Every structure is written in structure tokens, then in C-alpha cells.
Chain A
Amino acid sequence: MTLSGAAASTLPGAQAPPQGPVTGQPRLSWLRRLMGSEDARRLLSCVLGLLVLAVMTGPEGSASAPLSGFTGSLFHLRALVFIGLGFVLWAVITLRRRFGERARQASDWVSSAPRRLVTNRQARYGIYLALLAFAVVYPMVLSQFWQNVLVDQIGIYVLLALGLNVVVGYAGLLDLGYIAFYALGAYSAAYWTGALAVHPPITLNPFWAIPLAILAAMLAGVVLGAPTLRLRGDYLAIVTLGFGEIIQIVATNLQGVTGGASGPASVIPHFSVHVLGVHYRWGLADLPYYYLLLGFVVIVLVVFHSLENSRVGRAWTAIREDEIAAESAGINVLKYKVLAFSIGASTSGFAGMLWASQVGYIDSTLFTVQLSILVLVLVIFGGMGSLPGAVVGAAVLQWFPWFLRVHPLFGFQQQDLFIYLGALLIVMMIFRPEGLLPSRRRKREIGLAEHGIGTADAMSEPGGEP
């Protein structure tokens, strides 16, 4: 009753609610008047929402003190911090509502600034080189811990995100079994280097296992893709989801080959080079691995960038925008979808191979659906269809949990990580659905989809297909 009265009073142009004697509880009329303001209601829900988050991430209750989960969160400095965050969120939402269009323009202006400032080619290559130099030099001054994070958590995931970006961002296909190819790459690495119980015809140096791991993942991509890519968006997602599960279960149950959940008995060897009398072994130190990864990431970036701007890239754009139109324009839709899918798969396999050789150990419990979804989140967070987006998105989202672990803010606990990440993603999807650094075209597509002009893209609502 209170709320419905309040809603009426906030309608623009609606008549003021009767100011006369209020029936019922006159004592609550101040509350009623306060809640009549839309801002106040929004503030209340922001603060309450954040308080819920505080309780969810707070200390656990125990059998002897069942309420301590609440009291420990609410009667504590944490509560104040979260209430403060609630105010901040409210302020952002309110400002956005007041100055929505201008705020959006401002954030676009900031994110597109580099593009505008650097219009000439040479300057752009200069900036790429500067960024590369930074990527080369900066890790040297980092602590061992951060060097490890850089290799294990960031480098590998940047590679994974770049591969999935081809599938999701370029071709618009939703792949939820992406990590299956990562597993295939990792197990191929283990097989060809002789770490599995089943031995290969010749045991190879990890470098020689790279093309074989890529090939295995790519073949799996083609074999899975050729029959299933005829399906549209949602169905493809289900098929790939199933494929991811199958690979993990097979890896678990094929004990005699893969070692199942306890992994292969022997260690997967590290990379090493023996050329012309030069002998070098990548050992346990992270920095050499970082440079190896950086080299591969740069190669992948260059290849994907040229793909994006090629005939192939334009076919992908056409398929993403309107599959039927692409077909009637003479594009072999299935061929280009399989191509995108298997390029993504081989990148994933490549990443799995590199990772297996660096860590030296794999087991079947590592290749979960969550990991597939995490990589998808990295791509969406960074901005679909954008190479800088995939790199920055993966780097930021993968860095953030480790940052929290090292600098725990207001009682951060590791097991609550996904609550925070979930909250961050929700906020992100509300305020910047196109991601951090979206591609220009992708961004406009998402804008159109919001206005209901979307097409049959895996990532948007299905269009009116006949």
C-alpha cells in the first residue's frame, strides 16, 4: 500500500496524492513520504543489496553461535565499508540516470581516445612497440609471486581468450566446451613427450609437440564442428557443453592412458632448445616461460589481426550479422563457421600444450565446465570481437583475484571470490554491456540488439527466422 502510493506520486504529471488525513498509520507517513522519492528507494535497495553481499561474504556461523554469521558481518567495520559501497553504487546509478547519455558519451570518449589520437600508422606501430617493450621489461621488476601469476594465470588465459574471441567474437558462435580442446592439447603434449602410460612412436621435445597438439585440437574442432555448426545458437551451446563434459569424463575414466584424476605418473618435460650447439632448458623459473608465452601471444595477435581484416574476417562479420543474408550473398556459411571453430580449438589446444609443459603435471579434474565459462567471461568482459579487449579483459579479470589475495580488502576471503566476480560482472553488464574495449562494429551490433534489431547471432536473441 505504501509503495503503490509512492509509485503514483512519482509518476510525472500524475496528480499529487491526497494530502489529507491518511488512513491507517499516520505515524509512518514520514516513511511514506521518504519512500515516495525514487532516489531514496534506489538508495535503500543499493545499500540493502550490498549488506546482503557483506553477509554472504562474511564469516560463517557455527553450531554454537548460529547467528555469528550475521553479527560478525553486520556489527563490524565490514558493514560500514559495504554500506559505503552501496552509496557509491547508488551515486553512480543516479548520475547515470541524470546524465546517462552524456556519461556514456564520456566513457566512449575516453575508451576511444587512443584511436583518435593515433591516426597515423607510424605512430600506431610506435605505440605497439612501446607496449611490447613494456611487456618485456616490466615483469623483470616483479616479485617471483607475480611473475608466476603472469605466466600461470594471465599469459595462458590471454591465449585462451584470444582463441575463444575468434569463435564468439568474430563468428558469433557460442562455445561452452572450449576447455575440452585445452585438455586435448595438454594430453597431446603429455603423450608426445612420453609422459603418459601409453608411449608415442617417438618421444619428442615439447617444441615439436606444439604442432601435433595444435593439429589434434584442430581436428577435434573440425570433427565436432562440421556436423554441429549447422545448428543455430542455443543448440550449438548445448552440443559444445556436452562435448566438454565427454572429454573430461573420458580423461577421468581412461585411467590406463591418462592417469585419470591423479594424472600421469611421469612429469611432462619442460621446453628445451638444442640447436647448433646452443642448449637451453626452460626450467622452473617463470620469467623465461613468460617470454616464451609473450612471443606466442604476439604471433597469435598478428595472425588474428590480419585474419580479422581479411576476406575471411569479413565473411565472419557477415555470418554474425545475418546468416541468411550471408548465405544468399554466396558465402559458404558452414565452411567459415567450421574454420572459426577450429581456429579457436587449435588456439585452446596450443594453450593447453604450453601450460602442461610448464606445470609438468595435468589431471582430469582441471578441465571443468567452469573453466570454459571463465574464458567466455573473460572475452565478454574484455569486449567481444576485439583483440585488445580479449587481452585486457583476460589480464584484468585474472589479475584481480590475486590482487585480492595479496591485499585482502575488508575481510576478503578466497572462497568468496566468485561472489565478488559475479557482482562485478552484473555491474559491468548493466553499465557497459559491450565490454571494456569493444570492437567498433560489435559495439554497434549490441546497441542495435538492445533496440530489438538484432539478428540470428549466438550471443543475442534469436531473430525471426522463417
Chain B
Amino acid sequence: MTLLRLIDLEVRYGAIRALQDVNVDVSEGEIVALLGANGAGKTTTLRTISGLARPVKGSVQFAGREIHRLPPHEVVGLGIGHAPEGRRIFPQMSVLENLEMGAYRRRGDLHQDTERVYSLFPVLKQRRRQDGGTLSGGEQQMLAIGRALMSAPRLLLLDEPSMGLAPLVVETIFSIISEIRKTGTTILLVEQNAAQALALADRAYVLENGRVVMADKARTLLNNERVRAAYLGEGAA
């Protein structure tokens, strides 16, 4: 079943056209990757889904409902968790407080949810009383993902979880992402690290200058000449 559908999406920042005719489908239980160079429109796509940016044309449908006119906090309420670009944790709040902020729209006992996040990221449990700002980059990324999970999302948007992290840490985070999928959460992943993203994802879209230029199974793209040359750093210079 299709969980998320972007139809002919066009987004502008003033005179600049950031996205044009973008069509993306994400089915329940999938991991879908959005690949592309800087400025290709990957982050804008995620921001449009979560309501932080408004499309001038096209629509965003989530679980059969149009959501592109909703404000961000209502989008979260519908079940879309967003771990934004650059992590954006609350630096002066403790790890636990950060996680609680993620569940701001939910009432009731959060114990089970925090325990679930702690079981995915044991290091966060150790640091639960520490300020978010004092964590290492990798731990902050884990916290950002954990915070997004606290809203109990059906769809998790991850914006460059590997950015600025050591290869070993990236590996840990990617293996946790596939753990998250096993618990039934659908994931839309934006990455520059194409090799790793394609190894993890079921399907992928390649964006160039705000347009989708390729869409296929991840394994197929991994063997695609053009993708290999442009994003996997192989072949022609």
C-alpha cells in the first residue's frame, strides 16, 4: 500500500525553483532513498513533506490524505517524524528532555517509548541526563533520530544522517536504521553517501536540479553506469 505520494510537486524559494514535477511514491514498510548532489532538492523535498516548506503546485498525500497545506505540528500528529538536516537537537536540554519534546503531541506514559529508543541507541540511555549540546556528532544524530521516533511515526524522514560523521559511526547508524524498519516504520532517507544508502534502501530516486532523473530499485541503481560515475565516485573523472 502506498503510504506517501508526492504528485507533480513544485516548490520555489522566491524566484528560484527548488523542485519541479517531482513524483515520489513510498510504500508501507519500505526504505526509500533520495540521492543527489548539493542543491538537488533533497532537503526541500523532506521539508515540503513535513510542512516546513509549501509547494506552489502539486500535492503531498499521506495515507490517502492531502497534507501539503497543514502546518508542521499537525503533520507530526498524523504520523510523520522528521529528523531534520544538521540534527537540530535542543542543545540545552538533557537527552531525556529532548526525547520528551519529540513526543510533545502525545499524552500519557512515555516510558515504553523512551525504552524503545534506548534499546535502539543504548548510548543515549547512558547519557540521558547529559545536555544534548555536549554529545558527540554521532550521538547527536542518534538523539535526533530518537526524538523523531518518539512521535511514534508511521513514516520517518531522515535528512543526511551520515553528515559529518566518522565511517564507523555511519555504519552503526545505518544498521540501526534497518532495525527501525524491522519494527514496521517506513523510512524516507536523504543521503549524499550514495553507496551506503543504496545498500540499505529498497528503492531510490535520484534528483538533479530539482527534478527526478532516475527512479528504480536500489540494487539496479547500484549497477547503473551513470549512478556509479556520478555518485559512487567510479569511472570518469
Chain A interface residues toward B at CB < 8 A: 311, 314-315, 317-318, 321-322, 324-334, 441, 444-445, 448, 453, 455, 466
Task: Give the number of chain B interface residues (Cβ < 8 Å).
Answer: 30
Say if the beta carbon of B88 comes within 8 Å of chain A. Answer: yes
Q: Cβ of B133 and Cβ of A329 under 8 Å apart?
A: no
Q: Cβ of B104 and Cβ of A331 under 8 Å apart?
A: yes
Say if the beta carbon of B155 comes within 8 Å of chain A. Answer: no
Q: Which residues of A contact B101 (CB under 8 A)?
A: 314, 318, 326, 329, 331
Q: Which residues of A contact B76 (CB under 8 A)?
A: 328-330
Chain B interface residues toward A at CB < 8 A: 43, 47, 50-52, 71-73, 76-77, 82, 84-85, 88-93, 97, 100-102, 104-105, 131, 133, 147-148, 151
Q: Which residues of A contact B92 (CB under 8 A)?
A: 317, 321, 441, 444-445, 448
Q: How many A-B residue pairs have CB under 8 A?
A: 77
Cβ-neighbour of A327 out of B72, B77, B90, B93 (below 8 A): B72
Q: Which residues of B contact A318 (CB under 8 A)?
A: 90, 93, 101, 104
Q: Cβ of B77 and Cβ of A330 under 8 Å apart?
A: yes
Q: Cβ of B104 and Cβ of A315 under 8 Å apart?
A: yes
Q: Cβ of B90 and Cβ of A317 under 8 Å apart?
A: yes
Whose C-beta in chain A lies nearest to the C-beta of B77?
A330
Give complex CA distance A331, B71 in Å. 10
Q: Which residues of B contact A328 (CB under 8 A)?
A: 50, 52, 72, 76, 82, 84, 88, 148
Give complex CA distance A386, B101 in Å. 21
Cβ-neighbour of A314 out of B82, B91, B97, B133 (below 8 A): B97
Instruction: Knowing A314-B97, A315-B104, A466-B43, say if A448 contacts B72 (CB, 8 Å).
Output: no
Q: Which residues of B contact A315 (CB under 8 A)?
A: 104
Give complex CA distance A317, B43 in Å. 26
Q: Cβ of B151 and Cβ of A330 under 8 Å apart?
A: yes
Give complex CA distance A184, B131 in Å. 42
Whose C-beta in chain A lies nearest to the C-beta of B157?
A328
Cβ-neighbour of A444 out of B43, B51, B131, B148 (below 8 A): B131
Which of B77, B100, B104, B133 gathers the greatest number of chain A CB atoms within 10 Å? Answer: B104
Instruction: Knowing A318-B101, A327-B52, say if A332 contacts B93 (CB, 8 Å).
Output: no
Q: Which residues of A contact B89 (CB under 8 A)?
A: 322, 325
